[in-house]
Chains A and B, each alone.
Chain A
Amino acid sequence: MTIPPGWPILGLGLLYIAIAVAVVLALRLLWQRSAKALADKPGMLRPIAIAGGVLAVLAALLPWVTFRFNDGPYPDLATLQFFDEPWGVTGFRLFVLLLGVVAIAAPFLPVPARRVERAIGLGLIALGLVNTIFPLISGGGFGAITAADGAFAFGGVATLVAGWVVATSAKAGPLEPLPHWNPKVPRLLAYAVLVVSYVVLLLVVAWMLDAGTDPDGNTNTYAGPIFLSLLSFLGAALGALHAFGFLGWLTALSERHRVFSIGVLVVCALALPFTDAGTDYWMTIAVNVGVYAATAIGLNIVVGLAGLLDLGYIAFLGIGAYIAANFSGAAASALHVELPFVLVAVIAAIVAGIFGAIVGSPTLRVRGDYLAIVTLAFGEIFRKAAQFNIGGMTGGANAIPNIPPINWFGRDFSAPLTIGSVRLPSGVLYYVLIMVLVALVMVIFANLKNSRIGRAWIAVREDEDAARAMGIKTGQVKILAFLIGAMLAGLAGAVFAHKTSTVAYNSFQFIESVTLLAAVILGGMGSIPGAVLGAALLLVLPEKLRDLQDWRLFFFGLALVVIMRFRPQGLMPDRHRRAELADEGADGVPIEELNVPDAPDGSTAQAVAR
């Protein structure tokens, strides 16, 4: 009797899953036990944090399994290499070293040490996971971590343990309250802080995009782990900055000086092409990020503010794109007219808006899940109509190719640009255009949100009956949300059509709608920077994880699940959502300490207090 070929794999897979589940359960138990044991021993913070920090420093100096390019028959596969010169520490090992040092120092500094340790611990765990799992996969399974030539790679495991210990130290005694820095500082100081912070942000973004790129400009095979390591480190650094109140202060400062910060942000964004990330490749991706960000902000009006789930939102981007394609003078277009881009963009927005209002009109009758189904159906109808060229405007399965680039004052937007002696990558003009558009969309969103209309949207989301009892005509208000949201998507679609030069029905699949929704939720519902960050992450991560191949989507999904588990309010939540879903009240007081009534919203509070 022979075993069918698939069985050993299946058995092995089940074994791995069983091991993983067992490990997770055991760790969970250990975590709960240690948290309980430490709860009333604040004095244990220092010894545990120091032990974890020292272990992290050691881990950085220990041998690691890492990668080296080889010219052998399997250039894509890693060969194992062991560091054995302890002081030549660079890359992720440098991050581990730095975090370890901070973990040791934090309890002796006048900072909320437990919050800092918690951030650092999680960062170390992430670093350890990335740099342990990746060799396991690319280096040929668990075998990779066994001894070779009598040497053994300890670094990864040691970092994981160090991260665990550091995170545990945060459980010794209660978390400190978040320090609240007064945002009422002299105007000049505020401006200086904002400028420096945003410039640093620009440099960090460029650094991240550039991570894993070789000096010759090609993407490194190991860009994925290099990028993820950097991300883990930056996450820990941000967490630590948040811990002593800096991020909250910065947010408050930007809110106080909104116009100024938007200005600085726009200038910084426009400076990106001048950095190391200013390549053709990243410009293309950045334009896509911009298109998705603008669309996600539009969706944010519908989902984040008005609380209406839309599962077919990509259709509005598609409508905008097809409108632009048809007025572009492309040979395959149905209209053969060429209008100026600005006019086309306006038409695209208006048509998309009309469709938005039509799709939104069932909100007068259906609520909640039923509305989501209606929007889902609309998305599919749109895609099918485009595929079969119903209406004759979409080119059907042949798409509408060869859409000419935008041309203003004789300048072709797809050509490279030279300013003085600096040669900027091609597509940079599209980048500038989409950044201006995103800034515009941000202003639109912010203005609407802080207005009578925006408050009405939020009121409808919170309690529709109560909103009606306040004199809000909820039907009109909801349709308006759909209309304006769709207009923004249509606007983005017009840029998209010209940049990609081909508009095809399969750019507007259900998964794209899901991606948009994920960008909104990941970033934080109702939050503008959140939507941009979400869109950026969702488009940049897959690029960076390319070398993970089949594992790419798996890790991507896993990352989303983990983020949503530990940060249900999103990465950069809106103030309201933050209070609703986080363990902190609006002023950073843990919600358990606030006087939260039992009814009728107490249930959420309790669920969060856990």
Chain B
Amino acid sequence: MTATTAPVLAARDVSMVFGGLTALAEVSLELHEGQILGLIGPNGAGKTTFFNCLTGLYTPTKGSVTLRGDRLPSDPARVTVAGVARTFQNIRLFPSMTALENVLVGRHARMTQGPIASLFHGPAYRRGEADARRRSLELLEFVGLRGLDDELARNLPYGDQRRLEIARALATDPAVLLLDEPTAGMNPQETEAARQLIFAIRDTGVAVVVIEHDTKFIFSLCDHVSVLVQGRLLVQGTPEVVRGDPRVIEAYLGKPPEEVEAEVRQYAEEAAHSTGTAGTADPADSAEDLDTEGGSR
């Protein structure tokens, strides 16, 4: 959380132009070890496009992305191998695979069995497979999908699908996890569970970037918030700084800062109340209490 250490993930002057449309204009952003970074902005601001540039799905027109100082390739598979995992705004699970198989696919890059080993199923192969299974089941339990491993992804309720996508991304052993609207379509209870889950993920040593429209959610979750408007970074800083910034209020929130602050406080209190933990105004402080529950729901 201290900005003095070298960033895990750094984007420098990333621009993305589609035909004549500039979706991103020189966006620079740093993500540090142990950080949860929020990315907010109105529809069409370029948030998803930014994720696509980070993960190599798009090759930025200009600029570079580095992970721990190494430049990331513009190939999603290799980016994942390097240690950046993501979820998608419109859930993209493998619908007719089971929950467990989905997570196992996430292990793909961390497994080494080639076609020959896959053919003969020797002892080394079986050991690797058993390890992958164990790790995947752990992850399913971690995100709160215990016992649902044999369920087809397509048959899971919406909230569980989002959770499964997170488990699948975590299976790639990422250093950085990018979550594109992880609570879209969730009810308040599920949203709260997701918030705790993200804290828990952060506590396992994964730096997280979260895109969300729900500003209350973002301000109560993140250490650092960046606001993207029309492809440009408008403001970045701590939640307090961002929600107090007049430009943000004008461009995005449309409300005076006091009102936003009150809302956030109330939200955090409600959330703490609903899970039975002692209510503290700043949910980040109670992360340790919360994450144990988030992990073993």
Residues of A at the B interface (CB closer than 8 Å) are: 444, 447-448, 451-456, 458-459, 462-463, 465-474, 480, 484, 576-577, 579-580, 585-586, 591, 594-597, 599-601, 604-605
Residues of A within 8 Å of B130, CB to CB, are: none
Given the known A-B contacts A453-B115, A600-B91, are A471 and B109 also in contact in the complex, defined by CB atoms under 8 Å?
Answer: yes
Which residue from chain A places its CB closest to the CB of B154 in the assembled complex? A601
Which residue from chain A places its CB closest to the CB of B150 in the assembled complex? A586
Residues of A within 8 Å of B55, CB to CB, are: 469
CB distance from B184 to the nearest CB of A (A): 10
Given the known A-B contacts A458-B94, A470-B106, are A579 and B119 also in contact in the complex, defined by CB atoms under 8 Å?
Answer: no
Given the known A-B contacts A459-B94, A470-B106, A473-B77, are A585 and B155 also in contact in the complex, defined by CB atoms under 8 Å?
Answer: yes
Residues of A within 8 Å of B109, CB to CB, are: 470-472
Question: Which of A469, A480, A597, A604 has most B Cβ within 10 Å?
Answer: A469
A579 in contact with B115 (CB, 8 Å) = no
The answer for the CA separation of A52 and B78 in the assembled complex, in Å, is 64
B105 in contact with A470 (CB, 8 Å) = yes
CB distance from A606 to the nearest CB of B (A): 12
B78-112 with Cβ < 8 A to chain A: 78, 80-81, 85-86, 88, 90-98, 101, 104-111
CB distance from B56 to the nearest CB of A (A): 9
A463 in contact with B96 (CB, 8 Å) = no
B105-151 with Cβ < 8 A to chain A: 105-111, 113-115, 117-121, 125, 129, 132, 150-151
B86 in contact with A469 (CB, 8 Å) = yes
A580 in contact with B96 (CB, 8 Å) = yes
Residues of B within 8 Å of A596, CB to CB, are: 154-155
A-B contact count (CB 8 A): 135
Residues of A within 8 Å of B119, CB to CB, are: 444, 447-448
Given the known A-B contacts A448-B119, A451-B121, A471-B80, are A456 and B108 also in contact in the complex, defined by CB atoms under 8 Å?
Answer: yes
Which residue from chain A places its CB closest to the CB of B112 in the assembled complex? A452
A576 in contact with B152 (CB, 8 Å) = yes
Question: Which of B92, B96, B105, B157 has most A Cβ within 10 Å?
Answer: B96
Given the known A-B contacts A455-B101, A469-B76, A597-B157, are A463 and B94 also in contact in the complex, defined by CB atoms under 8 Å?
Answer: yes
Residues of A within 8 Å of B90, CB to CB, are: 599-600
Residues of A within 8 Å of B226, CB to CB, are: none
B155 in contact with A594 (CB, 8 Å) = yes
Residues of B within 8 Å of A605, CB to CB, are: 154
The answer for the CA separation of A591 and B154 in the assembled complex, in Å, is 10
Residues of B within 8 Å of A454, CB to CB, are: 118
Which residue from chain A places its CB closest to the CB of B91 in the assembled complex? A600
Given the known A-B contacts A463-B92, A599-B90, A600-B91, are A447 and B118 also in contact in the complex, defined by CB atoms under 8 Å?
Answer: yes
Residues of A within 8 Å of B125, CB to CB, are: 451
Of the four ranges (under 10, 10 to 19, 20 to 34, 35 or more), the interface on chain B belongs to 35 or more
Main secondary structure of the interface of A (DSSP, over half): helix
Binary contact readout B51-62 vs A (1 if CB under 8 angstroms, 0 otherwise): 000010100000
Say yes or no: is B161 at the interface (Cβ < 8 Å to chain A).
yes
Question: Which of B76, B91, B113 has most A Cβ within 10 Å?
Answer: B76
Which residue from chain B places its CB closest to the CB of A480 in the assembled complex? B115
Q: Which of A455, A456, A466 is B92 in contact with, Cβ under 8 Å?
A: A466
Residues of B within 8 Å of A468, CB to CB, are: 57, 75-77, 80
Given the known A-B contacts A474-B77, A579-B155, are A452 and B97 also in contact in the complex, defined by CB atoms under 8 Å?
Answer: no
B157 in contact with A595 (CB, 8 Å) = yes
The answer for the CA separation of A459 and B98 in the assembled complex, in Å, is 11
The answer for the CA separation of A601 and B120 in the assembled complex, in Å, is 35
Given the known A-B contacts A444-B119, A579-B154, are A451 and B96 also in contact in the complex, defined by CB atoms under 8 Å?
Answer: no
The answer for the CA separation of A447 and B172 in the assembled complex, in Å, is 23
Which residue from chain B places its CB closest to the CB of A472 in the assembled complex? B108
Q: List 18 A-B pairs, Cβ < 8 Å.
A: A444-B119, A447-B120, A452-B111, A452-B118, A462-B95, A465-B76, A467-B94, A469-B85, A469-B92, A470-B77, A471-B80, A472-B77, A484-B115, A577-B96, A580-B96, A595-B156, A595-B157, A604-B154
Given the known A-B contacts A469-B55, A470-B172, are A585 and B152 also in contact in the complex, defined by CB atoms under 8 Å?
Answer: yes
CB distance from A275 to the nearest CB of B (A): 34
Which residue from chain A places its CB closest to the CB of B82 in the assembled complex? A471
Which residue from chain B places its CB closest to the CB of A444 in the assembled complex? B119
**Which 3 residue pairs across A and B have the least CB separation, nearest first?**
A471-B109, A451-B118, A471-B80
Residues of A within 8 Å of B108, CB to CB, are: 452, 455-456, 459, 470-472
The answer for the CA separation of A577 and B97 in the assembled complex, in Å, is 9
B152 in contact with A579 (CB, 8 Å) = yes
The answer for the CA separation of A444 and B110 in the assembled complex, in Å, is 23
Q: Which of B77, B81, B86, B97 is A576 in contact with, Cβ under 8 Å?
A: B97
The answer for the CA separation of A471 and B168 in the assembled complex, in Å, is 11
Q: Which of A444, A458, A480, A597 is B97 in contact with, Cβ under 8 Å?
A: A458
CB distance from A587 to the nearest CB of B (A): 9
CB distance from A553 to the nearest CB of B (A): 34
B106 in contact with A586 (CB, 8 Å) = no
CB distance from A139 to the nearest CB of B (A): 48
The answer for the CA separation of A458 and B108 in the assembled complex, in Å, is 12
Which residue from chain A places its CB closest to the CB of B92 in the assembled complex? A466
B105 in contact with A472 (CB, 8 Å) = yes
The answer for the CA separation of A104 and B87 in the assembled complex, in Å, is 55
Say yes or no: is B267 at the interface (Cβ < 8 Å to chain A).
no
Say yes or no: is B158 at the interface (Cβ < 8 Å to chain A).
yes
Task: A444-B119, A452-B129, A595-B156 given; name 4 further pairs at CB < 8 Å.
Answer: A451-B121, A468-B77, A580-B95, A585-B155
Given the known A-B contacts A444-B119, A456-B105, A601-B154, are A576 and B111 also in contact in the complex, defined by CB atoms under 8 Å?
Answer: no
The answer for the CA separation of A202 and B119 in the assembled complex, in Å, is 29
B96 in contact with A579 (CB, 8 Å) = yes
CB distance from B127 to the nearest CB of A (A): 13
The answer for the CA separation of A454 and B108 in the assembled complex, in Å, is 11
A586 in contact with B151 (CB, 8 Å) = yes
Residues of B within 8 Å of A576, CB to CB, are: 96-97, 152
Residues of B within 8 Å of A469, CB to CB, are: 55, 57, 76-77, 80, 85-86, 88, 92
Which residue from chain B places its CB closest to the CB of A596 in the assembled complex? B155
B97 in contact with A459 (CB, 8 Å) = yes
B129 in contact with A451 (CB, 8 Å) = yes
The answer for the CA separation of A591 and B80 in the assembled complex, in Å, is 34
Which residue from chain A places its CB closest to the CB of B55 in the assembled complex? A469
CB distance from B167 to the nearest CB of A (A): 12
The answer for the CA separation of A3 and B75 in the assembled complex, in Å, is 71
CB distance from A475 to the nearest CB of B (A): 9
A601 in contact with B95 (CB, 8 Å) = yes
CB distance from B73 to the nearest CB of A (A): 12
Residues of B within 8 Å of A458, CB to CB, are: 94, 97, 101
CB distance from A202 to the nearest CB of B (A): 28
CB distance from A124 to the nearest CB of B (A): 34
The answer for the CA separation of A458 and B95 in the assembled complex, in Å, is 10
Q: Which of B110, B113, B155, B161 is A451 in contact with, Cβ under 8 Å?
A: B113
CB distance from B153 to the nearest CB of A (A): 9
Residues of B within 8 Å of A466, CB to CB, are: 88, 92-94
Residues of A within 8 Å of B150, CB to CB, are: 586
B155 in contact with A595 (CB, 8 Å) = yes
Which residue from chain A places its CB closest to the CB of B105 in the assembled complex? A459
The answer for the CA separation of A585 and B125 in the assembled complex, in Å, is 31
Residues of A within 8 Å of B78, CB to CB, are: 471
